[in-house]
Amino acid sequence: MTTDIDADRVLIFDTTLRDGEQSPGATMSHAEKLEIAEMLDEMGVDIIEAGFPIASEGDFTAVRAIAERAKDATICGLARANITDIDRAWEAVAPARSPRIHTFIGTSPLHRAIPNLDMDQMAERIHETVTHARNLCDNIQWSPMDATRTEWDFLKRTVEIAIKAGATTINIPDTVGYTAPVESAELIRRLIAEVDGGEDVIFATHCHNDLGMATANSLAAVAGGARQIECTINGLGERAGNTALEEVVMALRVRRDIMPWSTRIDTTKIMNISRRVAAVSGFPVQFNKAIVGKNAFAHESGIHQDGMLKNAETFEIMRPSDVGLKETSLVMGKHSGRAALRSKLKELGYEVGDNQLKDVFVRFKALADRKKEVYDEDLEALMREQAGGE
Ligand code: KIV
Ligand code: ZN
């Protein structure tokens, strides 16, 4: 039974290959999608949303190939609320050891206006399509798109219809990144408490990052009772992106004291997959991105470097090895101090006495004022110059 998970577990649903790939320009090749899916499966992702099979022949073939190869993860295909989409999604995911169909419809007033359905017609469509999907597959996820801007009474009504028709996971998308943490938690809490059958399904949270709150909103939803977080590697996704997998997973790990929920993710695989997704999607990771940015474990200022040399916990709440990085990097620049310079020189094979350090430090500062970052080769050149001058 898909809804049977330990009370303290949160399922990780990765949609890098579906919502992530919807980022303008982030298209991946068939081989790249298979490679990313294999990495996601190996790192312990519970559900991989492999694509939107009706969208193109290429999407269909990729989802099917991923379904055939997946070893552990549930493989999910997206479908709009119509029979053709659902049948195509089922055809693509059916070979999986554990297949899931994810079907959705926009329920907010703005989204209802697009297919021009009134509330009763939409309710009927949800009943028909979820029933159809459930007759094909016993693992069905249903999403009211733009849930966070849907009227409460209608949201509750549609969720109840989907559950009665056989949905096993109810995903609550914050499609335009509009909600805020207090509201996100309260919405899930209220759905679980007030929806008929709410206690028999898993509630999921799917947040976009338009206001930079996707991670906070996802974790708040978990505090409200959600047990599935939908996310992408590097936060790839439409517009400002989706919740970043690495952020929610590491937040749950580092702050287990106040967020007592666990995932199955092998966090030591995070850095590797982040780099691979950046390379194949063509979306570089910003330098100061939480967890996976180039600077996330780098320290330049003298006070920070000195603290780090004495005790890494002074300025790091995670170890670099937790996310698969070898070590913290002490970046040598104009803010670096003597202790860091001495330690860096030692690493490069130069043991310097106090007087020599004083002299190199003056030259190093002069160089650092001209250059943003002083590399190992620059320091070696300084040491050679100094030896030549003596
Ligand atoms: O953001 C969204 O609403 C979606 C749905 C398809 C779940 O991605
Ligand atoms: Zn989305």
What's residue 151's pLDDT?
98
Angle at 73 between CA 14 and CA 205, to 5 degrees: 35
Cα of 18 vs centre of ligand 2, distance in Å, is: 9
With bands split at pLDDT 50, 70 and 90, how would you rate the model's confidence at 148? very high
Instruction: Select from 259, 264, 192 the least CA-distant residue to 225.
Output: 192
With bands split at pLDDT 50, 70 and 90, how would you rate the model's confidence at 56? very high
pLDDT in tens, 294-341: 999 988 888 888 888 888 888 889 999 999 998 888 889 999 999 899
pLDDT in tens, 216-246: 999 999 999 999 999 999 999 989 999 999 9
Contact present, 223 and 187 (Cβ < 8 Å): no
Q: What is the DSSP string of 214-256?
A: HHHHHHHHHHHT--EEEEBGGG--STT-B-BHHHHHHHHHHTT
Neighbour tally for 124: CB within 10 Å: 13
Ligand 1 atom index nearest CA of 106: 3
Q: How many residues does the chain have?
A: 390
ipTM attached to this prediction: 0.99
Neighbour tally for 174: CB within 10 Å: 29
In this structure, the residue with its CA closest to atom 5 of ligand 1 is 145
User: What's the pTM value of the predicted model, to 2 decimals?
Assistant: 0.92
Cα of 71 vs centre of ligand 1, distance in Å, is: 26
Query: Which bound ligand lies closest to the C-alpha atom of 108?
Result: 1
- Residue 243 CA to residue 88 CA, distance in Å, equals 27
Cα of 209 vs centre of ligand 2, distance in Å, is: 10
Ligand 1, CB cutoff 6 Å, lining residues = 19, 104, 143, 145, 171, 173, 175, 206, 208
What's residue 389's pLDDT?
64
Ligand 1 atom index nearest CA of 146: 3
Cα of 240 vs centre of ligand 1, distance in Å, is: 14
The pLDDT > 90 percentage for the chain reads 85
Burial class (CB in 10 A: 0-12, 13-18, 19+), 46: buried
Binding residues are 19, 206, 208, 242
Residues 6+ apart with CB under 8 A from 32: 280
Ligand 1 atom index nearest CA of 147: 3
CA distance to 116, 141, 289, per residue, from 126 (Å): 14, 12, 39
| pLDDT surpasses 50 at 32 | yes
Cα of 242 vs centre of ligand 2, distance in Å, is: 7
Instruction: Select from 136, 56, 73 the least CA-distant residue to 103.
Output: 136
| pLDDT surpasses 50 at 293 | yes
Cα of 50 vs centre of ligand 2, distance in Å, is: 14
- Residue 31 CA to residue 285 CA, distance in Å, equals 22
| pLDDT surpasses 70 at 126 | yes
Helix locations, the chain, DSSP H: 30-43, 57-69, 83-93, 109-112, 119-136, 152-165, 181-194, 214-224, 245-254, 270-281, 302-310, 338-347, 354-370, 376-389
Query: Which bound ligand lies closest to the C-alpha atom of 231?
Result: 2
Binding residues for Mn(2+) are 19, 206, 208, 242
In this structure, the residue with its CA closest to atom 8 of ligand 1 is 19
| pLDDT surpasses 60 at 390 | no
With bands split at pLDDT 50, 70 and 90, how would you rate the model's confidence at 2? very low
Half-sphere exposure of 244 (CA within 13 A, CB side): 23
In this structure, the residue with its CA closest to atom 1 of ligand 1 is 175
Cα of 101 vs centre of ligand 1, distance in Å, is: 14
pLDDT in tens, 343-382: 899 989 999 999 999 999 999 999 999 988 898 888 999 9
Q: For a pocket test of ligand 1, which of 142, 175, 209 has the largest count of ligand atoms closer than 8 A to its C-beta?
A: 175
Ligand 1 atom index nearest CA of 242: 1
Q: For a pocket test of ligand 1, which of 14, 18, 19, 148 has the largest count of ligand atoms closer than 8 A to its C-beta?
A: 19
Tokens at residue 80, please? 């709009």
Average pLDDT, the chain: 95
| pLDDT surpasses 80 at 28 | yes
- Residue 289 CA to residue 159 CA, distance in Å, equals 35
Instruction: Select from 44, 75, 37 the least CA-distant residue to 276.
Output: 37
- Residue 77 CA to residue 56 CA, distance in Å, equals 13
With bands split at pLDDT 50, 70 and 90, how would you rate the model's confidence at 5? confident
What's residue 1's pLDDT?
37
Ligand 1 atom index nearest CA of 19: 8
Ligand 1 atom index nearest CA of 15: 8
pLDDT in tens, 331-346: 899 999 998 999 899 9
Q: How far apart are the first and last CA of the chain?
A: 76
